[in-house]
């Protein structure tokens, strides 16, 4: 079908050259295309334990009310989050996943006149939301490969990228896909150096998985740094990626601005209830954290037996150096029913990102990998 005019050139400038986000391959696609039924998906950093049983028990009641619009202000979930983080409810913005919140930030603070600063190898959504709005990206070099945090955020380099037109800085802690992280002291020092007129977004999608002592407690920093936005999600440790809920914690004025560009019902009614129950089950979170911590060490050790090393990670995933193009290994693993994530779109060509799964999933991935590497 030939379009009646050149729609590409009619699109907003940022959209013309935009490459859409590349998600992990869904199990259904592997089933459909390869006819494989026994599938292990370790490609999107989901919680292999799934959501809390309390969430599943609460769902039938919500379904009765599907004809009703959700609470557009998310009162119940915000109250629970307010207790959980010890912040006022007017500091909380709910999103359709934290991805939605990142987009609200771009819409509220960026125009084609301004720029956003982020690191090379940072989470792919930052360049996406920046470019979609037509703003410029100022990309800071990451730490070199021989640094203690290889390919991790270099805060000095990021600070040097700030200019008079910088409105937003995106930081992922830990970063996806690398897994690398920033310590309390360096992040706090950075925040003191950033002009108060520049919004600093600290994306903490994996915070609940972290067992590292030096990890910053950023929600307690909001009063000291009114330009700080902390984002969190229910997609990772809470096991609700399919329902799409995330949130931002920020100064009430920033929260108010984000609220202006938010869709009136951006979080659906099922998600609101599920997230509230998920938040209340701290045992499930602890169990998930513990399983991840234990299994990650096992996977690291067994990868080492295969001669493979990983970037340091405090998330629920490892960025593994395959010493050859990762995409070819990814494709071979598919035939074994194992889905992992190539990261060549991040220019980490020789790496694969692998989510930590259940013990049996990890073992299946490891034996498939061994077979792929030795045949
Ligand atoms: C997974 C992830 C998110 C979460 O995205 P949702 O939209 O909440 O599912 C955000 N930031 C990073 C760095 C992530 O890895």
Rounding to the nearest 10 degrees, give the CA dihedral for residues 97, 101, 103, 104: 140
* Number of Cβ within a 10 Å radius of residue 322: 22
Cβ of 205 below 6 Å from ligand 1 = yes
Give the Å distance between the CA of 180 and the centre of ligand 1: 15
**Distance, C-alpha 293 to centroid of its chain:** 18
Report the pLDDT value the prediction gives residue 2, as an integer from 0 to 100: 76
Separation between Cα atoms, residue 304 and residue 10, nearest integer Å: 51
Separation between Cα atoms, residue 70 and residue 321, nearest integer Å: 45
Which portions of the chain are predicted below pLDDT 70? none
Cβ of 94 below 6 Å from ligand 1 = no
How does pLDDT run across 266-300, given as a tens digit for each residue? 999 999 999 999 999 999 999 999 999 999 999 99
The DSSP 8-state label assigned to residue 72 in this structure reads: T
Report the pLDDT value the prediction gives residue 20, as an integer from 0 to 100: 87
Instruction: Quickly list DSSP for 258-287.
Output: HHHHS-TT-S-HHHHHHHHHHHH-HHHHHH
Cβ of 102 below 6 Å from ligand 1 = no
List all residues 6 or more positions away from 32 whose beta carbon is below 8 Å from its beta carbon. Answer: none
Separation between Cα atoms, residue 105 and residue 98, nearest integer Å: 11
Give the Å distance between the CA of 124 and the centre of ligand 1: 10
Cβ of 241 below 6 Å from ligand 1 = yes
Atom of ligand 1 nearest to the CA of 99: 7
Name which residue sits closest to atom 15 of ligand 1, judged by CA.
Answer: 176
Cβ of 351 below 6 Å from ligand 1 = no
Give the Å distance between the CA of 5 and the centre of ligand 1: 37
Report the pLDDT value the prediction gives residue 1, as an integer from 0 to 100: 74
């Amino acid at each position: 079908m030939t379009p009646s005019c050149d729609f590409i050139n009619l699109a907003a400038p940022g959209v013309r050259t935009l490459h859409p986000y590349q998600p992990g391959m869904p199990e259904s696609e592997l089933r459909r295309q390869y006819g494989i039924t026994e599938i292990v998906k370790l490609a999107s950093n989901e919680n292999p334990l799934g959501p809390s049983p309390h969430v599943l028990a609460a769902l039938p009641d919500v379904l009765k009310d599907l004809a009703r619009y959700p609470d557009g202000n998310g009162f119940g979930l915000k109250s629970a989050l307010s207790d959980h983080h010890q912040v006022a409810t007017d500091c909380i913005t709910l999103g359709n996943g934290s991805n939605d919140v990142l987009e609200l930030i771009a819409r509220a603070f960026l125009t084609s006149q301004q720029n956003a600063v982020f690191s090379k190898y940072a989470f792919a959504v930052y360049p996406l939301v920046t470019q979609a709005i037509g703003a410029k990206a100022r990309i800071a070099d990451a730490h070199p490969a021989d640094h203690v945090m290889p390919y991790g955020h270099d805060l000095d380099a990021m600070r040097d990228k700030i200019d008079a037109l910088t409105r937003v800085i995106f930081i992922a802690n830990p970063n996806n896909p690398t897994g690398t992280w920033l310590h309390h002291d360096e992040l706090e020092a950075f925040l003191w150096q950033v002009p108060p007129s520049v919004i600093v977004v600290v994306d903490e999608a994996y915070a609940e998985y972290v067992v590292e002592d030096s990890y910053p407690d950023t929600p307690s920093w909001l009063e000291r740094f009114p330009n700080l936005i902390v984002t969190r999600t229910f997609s990772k440790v809470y096991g609700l990626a399919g329902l799409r809920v995330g949130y931002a914690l920020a100064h009430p004025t920033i929260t108010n601005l984000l609220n202006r560009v938010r869709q009136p019902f951006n979080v659906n009614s099922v998600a609101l209830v599920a997230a509230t129950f998920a938040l209340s089950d701290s045992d499930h979170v602890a169990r998930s954290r513990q399983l991840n911590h234990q299994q990650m060490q096992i996977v690291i050790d067994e990868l080492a037996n295969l001669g493979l090393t990983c970037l340091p990670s405090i998330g629920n995933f490892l960025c593994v150096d395959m010493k050859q193009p990762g995409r070819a290994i990814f494709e071979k693993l598919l035939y074994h029913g194992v889905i992992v994530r190539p990261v060549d779109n991040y220019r980490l060509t020789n790496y694969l990102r692998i989510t930590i799964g259940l013990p049996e999933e990890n073992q299946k991935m490891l034996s498939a990998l061994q077979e792929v590497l030795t045949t």
